[in-house]
């Protein structure tokens, strides 16, 4: 009996976790992210014959990105709100030290809130670079923008994150 592997399954399905992660960040909730990934997979199947090789992960995430923006536009999402789950951050085991655990959870919450405040184009490149560990070239391919734009958006997104986190720290410290 010969084992036959479908080229689509072999090429695209290994990247579903990354597709879901991007959709989750762009859509802001699990339900919409699942629907977006499902719609993206249908589009990927439909256009798979046109896939000429290259980076299948970037190709799929481009479809996810475009599907996300179309999906949210159809639903009238004025502000694309994203949130994340605690398990998306890898934290050292701090269970033995309640103070460290509290500090780690505070860090996760602060980062979640700060990333939520970023404009979608900054949030997108931050997630792709820092969480999915894509190269600038891969992000440029996914977002259909020049590498210079990716670098600019990353720099501006990181700067906005710093400003948000610093402002929050100053407010908590009793300063205006």
Q: Could you tell me if 165 and 99 lie in one domain?
A: yes
Q: What is the pLDDT of residue 139?
A: 93
User: What pTM value is reported for the model?
Assistant: 0.63
Token pair, residue 92, equals: 């050292």
6 within a domain of the structure (yes/no)? yes
Q: Could you tell me if 75 and 120 lie in one domain?
A: no
| pLDDT digits 0-9 by tens, 95-142 | 556 777 677 777 777 887 888 888 989 999 998 998 888 899 999 999
172 within a domain of the structure (yes/no)? yes
Q: Which of 82, 114, 131 marks a domain boundary?
A: 82
pLDDT grade for 86, boundaries at 50, 70 and 90: very low
Query: How many distinct structural domains can be found in the chain?
Result: 2
Q: Give me the domain span that covers residue 28.
A: 1-82
Distance in angstroms (rounded) separating the CA atoms of residues 103 and 66:
37
Q: Could you tell me if 57 and 106 lie in one domain?
A: no
- Confirm if 165 and 172 have CB atoms less than 8 A apart: no
**Domain harbouring 52, CATH code:** 1.10.1740.10
164 within a domain of the structure (yes/no)? yes
Chain position carrying tokens 């934290």: 91
Q: Could you tell me if 31 and 105 lie in one domain?
A: no
Q: Could you tell me if 155 and 122 lie in one domain?
A: yes
**Torsional sign, CA 103, 104, 106, 111:** positive
Q: What is the pLDDT of residue 77?
A: 53
Q: Could you tell me if 44 and 106 lie in one domain?
A: no
pLDDT grade for 172, boundaries at 50, 70 and 90: low
Cβ-proximal residues to 35 (8 Å cutoff; 6+ apart), any chain: 71
90 within a domain of the structure (yes/no)? no
Q: Which of 48, 82, 116 marks a domain boundary?
A: 82
Q: Which of 82, 116, 137 marks a domain boundary?
A: 82
10 against 36, higher pLDDT: 36
Q: Find the mean pLDDT for residues 39-60.
A: 87
Q: Could you tell me if 75 and 103 lie in one domain?
A: no
**Domain harbouring 134, CATH code:** 1.10.10.10
CA atoms within 13 A on the CB side of 103: 8
Q: Could you tell me if 51 and 117 lie in one domain?
A: no
């Amino acid at each position: 009996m010969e084992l036959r592997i479908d080229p689509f399954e072999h090429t695209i399905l290994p990247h579903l976790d990354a597709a879901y992660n991007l959709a989750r960040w762009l859509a802001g909730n699990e339900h919409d992210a699942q629907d977006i990934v499902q719609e993206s997979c249908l589009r990927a199947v439909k256009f798979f014959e046109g896939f000429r090789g290259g980076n299948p992960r970037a190709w799929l995430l481009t479809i996810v990105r475009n599907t996300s923006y179309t999906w949210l536009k159809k639903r009238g999402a004025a502000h694309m709100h994203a949130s994340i789950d605690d398990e998306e951050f890898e934290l050292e085991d701090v269970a033995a030290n309640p103070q460290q655990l509290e500090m780690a959870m505070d860090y996760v919450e602060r980062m979640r809130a700060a990333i939520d405040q970023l404009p979608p184009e900054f949030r997108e490149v931050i997630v792709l670079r820092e969480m999915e560990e894509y190269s600038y070239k891969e992000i440029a391919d996914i977002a259909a923008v020049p590498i210079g734009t990716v670098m600019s958006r990353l720099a501006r997104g990181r700067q906005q994150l710093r400003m948000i986190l610093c402002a929050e720290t100053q407010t908590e410290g009793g300063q205006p």
